[in-house]
Amino acid sequence: MALLVLLAYYYENSFCMQARSIFAYGCAHRMGFISIDCGLEADSSYLGDLTGLTYVPDGPYIDGGENQKVTTVYRNRWWGPDTRTLHTVRSFPSAKGQRNCYSLPTHIGSKYLVRLDFLYGNYDGMDNPSLKFNLTLGVKHWDTGTPFVSTVELRPLGILPYPAVMGNVSLSLYVRSNVGSSPDDDNLVRYPDDQYDRFWSTDEAHPLSTNISTQTTIQPSTEFAVPSPVLQKAIVPSGNSMKLVFFSGQVDVLLRNHFVILHFADFQNNKSREFTVSIDNGVHSSPYSTPYLNGLSVTGSWSSDSEGKYNFTIAATAISALPPILNAYEVYGRIVHDNPTTFSQDFDAIMAIKYEYGIKKNWMGDPCFPHEYVWDGVKCSDAGDKIMRIISLDLSNSELHGSISNSFTLFTALKYLNLSCNQLNGTIPYSLLKNNGSIDFSYETDGNMCKTPVTPSLSRNRAVTLAVSVVAPVLVLAILVLTYLIWRAKRKLNTSSTDLAMVPELRGAPGHITNHWDHLQEPENRRFTYQELEKFTDNFKHLIGHGGFGHVYYGCLEDSTEVAIKMRSELSSHGLDQFLAEVQSLTKVHHRNLVCLVGYCWEKEHLALVYEYMSRGNLCDYLRGKIGMGENLNWKTRVRVALEAAQEVTIGELPIIPGNGHIIQHMMQIVTGNITSVADERLGGSYIFNSMWKVLDAMMMCITDIASQRLMMSAVVLQLKENHELEEAHGDGLLGKCSKR
């Protein structure tokens, strides 16, 4: 039997496990769990004896393959509890050179555990113990077991756990061990003890170690949520030894990069325990201290060019009164997803078409990649950033019935569409007709025409018909739009002539400048004169700061409202652009945690923004301790500030704003795995290690070069919320911290 477990992150709307010889759509039954018993007869769902989870058949959800049963010898063999799923398989005997996929629904920005079981069980009577086939996660390929599958399971992890799992990185499990369990203990810890249904297996006996346990409940760390039954057992060195050594299990040389997570929890609260960790006799880490009755997880990584087992050493420090302890560990291989994928909107559109018309063909997996498995009738083009666009779709002679789907209009890069020789009826969607000038569109349904070549005259007649049907409504629409623009221009001339006279810079200015002027004239933005600003600032007496385009002055309005006034400097060659950029930002952003625009001044040579005065200083002042607060903002407060600033922000700007980008470049250069190179020195190391990493992880996902992998603002808010909850739960204690001395 083979077991494949993956931790993966999804930034598209569906997940596809491609197995060259596996497409099903499972439905969630509990907590978003999807449990598919491959090869199970239709209408034969059942509950697992141990977990109570519902397992469903895959027959209605797959385009190929056939149901098979393992032989009686294997069905009667003990494989552990809840292994009824191994009694049947789905095989693909006629799918040589093809792929079939299980496509499982996922949520954008979430992480998932994916688990597949493979038990050959001589289902084909061939007694072949060494079959092989290729397996693909999304479009990332690697090798595994045999051309069949017994079970497919999907378990949502949310956003918080396993920070090493990102949009372009998944983890493949080598071993997950409950080391404190006795080798004679056959109890597998999984759901419901483990909320994510991870398998915590009993480990082989560790030489020179002693098993210890407790019945006291242990609080797991939020970031990995190791179940309490696992943390209640541990090993310590035997005798007077102060060192533990254990091994990783066989690693996959093809993956090269490997990842380990060590889980600790101390339930001996009589003396101090401190230790360091090293991988394969390498450099020892900084010291760690285990919190009492609380989980602590330590992560590490290494690279290798050869197969074999790698050792991990946990050694007590000189000041530790107790030997090291270990409760559990996990070892993974990193899978980097660096292959191209189909643009998400194109993928959604073609999947909608597939299900609407019941198209079979070889439409499984990613439509455009790998190249040898591109879907029949589909042609793609590389759009850069490892994104493929569908540019051609030939569905002629595909036995399509019904009306022409509106989903065809969602292909924004489509250049060729052929729907000829099908049984389609009804009208052509208007948006498809509108794009006919950029799309080579073929649509013939007459049986005789499908049997003979289309003559040029027929093509010209159809083109004329299409042209007339498009040009007429477009011409009417153009006349209406032109009439409206003339009316609007006259109205603006009457209402804004005095304003334009006061702003000579607007005459002949580029369109983006006049657009900013429109933003300023929103009703809620008061317009001030330069003389009023002189009065409010006592002739610009109190300078409180410097902006990108000039000085900032303190002012007080006639109703005693305190304001800050940014004046554009005449010496700044780029001041106008920065001024206008800030205008657009402040007029679009409306949030209780962000400063609001009060008004503006724009006359002759005088440009100014008037906005709320921050009487207690700005965020930078708080972070740097400039305002006599007694101390800097701690990490917990900084996370809260970031969360409150991110909530409900809508700015309408492009995903990446052009500019020098020095902050992004700087962060990209220094993020090398050493968190201390990123953390503010003023924090003095007083922060939760994994909390800092999660904020950094969210930041890196927001600035990645690949647009489809960037986090949505909702995902950023969710991750910051979970981080804030983690900080609230930990309070000021050391829970989850990596203590350094």
Annotated binding residues for ATP: 566
Neighbours of 688 (CB within 10 A): 24
Residues annotated in a binding site: 566
Q: What burial class does residue 446 get, using C-beta atoms within 10 Å of its C-beta: 0-12 exposed, 13-18 middle, 19+ buried?
A: exposed
Q: What burial class does residue 127 get, using C-beta atoms within 10 Å of its C-beta: 0-12 exposed, 13-18 middle, 19+ buried?
A: exposed
Among the listed residues 133, 121, 129, 139, the one whose alpha carbon sits nearest the alpha carbon of residue 84:
121
The three-state secondary structure class of 149 is strand
Neighbours of 543 (CB within 10 A): 11
- Interior angle at CA 358, CA 354 and CA 360, nearest 5: 80
Q: What burial class does residue 426 get, using C-beta atoms within 10 Å of its C-beta: 0-12 exposed, 13-18 middle, 19+ buried?
A: exposed
Which helix (H) or strand (E) element contains residue 720? helix 713-730
DSSP 373: G
Rounded Cα gap, residues 2 and 119, in angstroms: 6
Query: Sign of dihedral through CA atoms 4, 8, 12, 14?
Result: positive
The letter for the amino acid at 552 is: V
Nearest-Å Rg of the Cα atoms of the chain is 32
The three-state secondary structure class of 246 is strand
Tell me the residue ranges of DSSP E strands in 364-418: 378-382, 387-394, 401-403, 416-418
Tell how far CA 678 is from the center of its chain: 22
Among the listed residues 121, 110, 51, the one whose alpha carbon sits nearest the alpha carbon of residue 88:
121
Rounded Cα gap, residues 547 and 481, in angstroms: 41
Which neighbouring-strand residues pair with 261? 299, 330
